[in-house]
Amino acid sequence: MKTQSPSLFQPELVREALKQSFVKLDPRLMVKNPVMFTVELGTAVMLIVSVMVLVTPGAERTQGSAGYNVGIFLLLFATLLFANFAEAIAEARGKAQADSLRKTRQDTPAKVRRKDGSFDVVSSAQLQRGDVFVVEAGEIIPTDGEIIEGLATIDESAITGESAPVIREAGGDKSSVTGGTKVLSDRIVVLVTTAPGESFLDKMIALVEGASRQKTPNEIALTILLAGFTLVFLIVCVTLVPFANYAKATLTVAALVSLFVCLIPTTIGGLLSAIGIAGMDRALRANVITKSGKAVETAGDIDVLLLDKTGTITIGNRRATHFWPAPGVAEAAFVEAATLASLTDDTPEGKSIVELAAQAADGSRLRQRIEGAQLIRFTAETRSSGVDLLPAHGGLRLRKGATDAIRRLVEQAGNPFPTEMQQRVEAVASNGGTPLVVSQNEQVLGVVELQDIIKPGIQERFERLRKMGVKTVMVTGDNPLTARFIAEKAGVDDFIAEAKPEDKMHYIRQEQQAGKLVAMMGDGTNDAPALAQADVGVAMNSGTQAAKEAGNMVDLDNDPTKLIEVVEIGKQLLITRGTLTTFSIANDVAKYFAIVPALFVASIPALQGLNIMQLHSPESAILSAVIFNALIIPALIPLALRGVQYTPVGASQLLRRNLLVYGLGGVVVPFVGIKLIDLLVSVFV
């Protein structure tokens, strides 16, 4: 799947959209859009009137000429088709992407490992949740799952569009694999995490086709508002009949229907669905899969953005750069203890400690010492890891972790935390590094310094968010000194230091209770509760299945900064809907000045003063207004699909620009357009 956007009106898409424009005329489909459904009813009335004028002698004296009535009918019919075309072309773009994804999904053989160790080759369609299969170099991964054994280089270009291979491995937060991707090297054992028909590709296809698209709350509210406008103008048009009888004016059915159709917000009514579909489409082209349109829309209203420090604000490859032994501890002994505590640590930090110590310690000898040892895995709760060696190998209890975690461990054993080491911790942290304290038998041996680099350009992106009114919060497991240094250097508004999973949840709930909308990104199982609690939760495709199920968006690129782009896409969706609604309602002013004088000027000459456009005749005025009303919909389709250009400015400035460009423009453009159309129509009327 490619992220670049193809031409809006590709010939094959246009042909499909034109066909669907007629299919969507089905009243059972049209009734879902109250505004356009009433236009369809008006079109049906004009069809009946046109036939009546054609077959009934003398009907032209009261209802106008046959050509005039047929012309109004055809224009209203064209208005319906244009509105349906806007939605159909948006859907056709999604269906084209779905067809591309279907080519990726294929029936792939899978080598399923049974409990007795034997293997069965079955079709990928037969795989069930809980099955275990093996994939080797050159083979296609048959379905979604999590690696439980091994490490492999994987080509995910069929899903992400990125040609560079990625590494996926058992354990940690990079264990998830997607069906349809290809293993380039090594061998992995994968646990199936999805049921048949519920794989990531299946969900993507359903989403991009629009099959699972539901109207968002704002879209529903706007639909109700537009339906209210429609009802009001229906009452207005109906009450004009007794007024006309009182004024001895003749109102034709064509004139009344035309006035009604032109006054109701047909422009936004015809484009509303297309705007929503296009919003999800823009997110998909940014390689973000949204589980609902609501997620994209909510992203536009986000007040608080939670971002992990590592990989988002910093490069993410924290590496050991220096060993600082405690007073009285030989450097060689400290390096050896730090290495022993890190040999089974699969995190990048643990591996970097082993690499840094490689020249100072005998790796093969140390690996023999940890044989049969009890491994203490790192968890977000304990924030430490280590190893308990067997008595034959020294019986040492080695721990490596965050300062507060090791301090608690040491002091609980009744041992002091050396003042010199506390000063070293503070010095490392104040320099932007991350200190890891190493202990042996609950005695502090020293500090390992880790360093990371802030991503270039991240300050400018945070400044853009600040202009949008979005508060940025950095979440990190680092101590407060390190967190403050990085936060100030990166330009974030706030930070959460020494964060545990429950700290994220607490912060999100606290902000939500204050009436704010919160977004966050995560990739691990420990992020799942917070992703589910956040209003917008973006899970990375490489993350665990729990994280992907908890979030309402999935980033195919595994780019932690993508959340910033998602916010901009959401704001663009809201702005596009708002500006086109403003333009549509402003349009009605000019149509009012075109049609109302045409209806009553014969019986009430004083209304000629309202004919400020000096239109040629009542018939040409009505025809011109209806023609403009029909043509403005296809003219705005590119804007609805591409979205209004978004710039990060304050809400008040955005409102002023909206009213000036689309409010004032919505009044002026119809005056000019209707007058020009009238000059052409008057030649034939």
Q: Annotated catalytic sites, by residue?
A: 308
382 belongs to an annotated ligand binding site: yes
Given the DSSP bridges, would you call strands 518-522 and 536-540 parallel, antiparallel or unpaired?
A: parallel
Distance between CA 517 and CA 536 in Å, rounded? 8
Consult the annotation and say whether 104 binds a ligand: no
527 among the known binding-site residues? Answer: yes
Residue 345, annotated as binding a ligand: yes
Alpha helices in 381-515 (DSSP H): 403-412, 419-430, 458-468, 480-490, 501-513
| Residue the block writes with tokens 């990166």 | 490
Residue in 285, 282, 289, 278 with CA at minimum distance from that of residue 204: 289
Say if residues 121 and 109 touch (Cβ distance below 8 Å): yes
Is 379 annotated in a binding site? The answer is yes
Does the annotation place 364 within a ligand binding site?
Answer: no
Token pair 């490992």 is found at 113
Q: Is position 400 annotated in a ligand binding site?
A: yes
Kind plus residue range of the DSSP H or E element containing 109: strand 109-113
At which residue do the structure tokens 């069965």 appear?
Answer: 120
Select from 564, 562, 547, 533 the least CA-distant residue to 173: 547
598 labeled part of a ligand binding site: no
Residue carrying the six token digits 């054993």: 413
Q: Strand runs (DSSP E) across 138-254, as ranges?
A: 145-155, 166-169, 176-177, 182-192
What per-residue string of b and e applies to 546-572 under the rule 16 or more CB within 10 Å gives b? bbbebbbbbbbbbbbbbbbbbbbbbbb
Q: CB neighbours (10 Å) of residue 217?
A: 12
Residue 384 marked ligand-binding? yes
Q: How far is CA 116 from the centre of its chain?
A: 44
Residues 6+ positions from 658 with CB-CB distance below 8 Å: 575, 578, 579, 582
Report whether 381 belongs to an annotated binding site. yes
Does the annotation place 333 within a ligand binding site?
no
Return binding residues.
Answer: 345, 349, 378-385, 400, 523, 527
Return binding residues for Mg(2+).
Answer: 523, 527
Return binding residues for ATP.
Answer: 345, 349, 378-385, 400
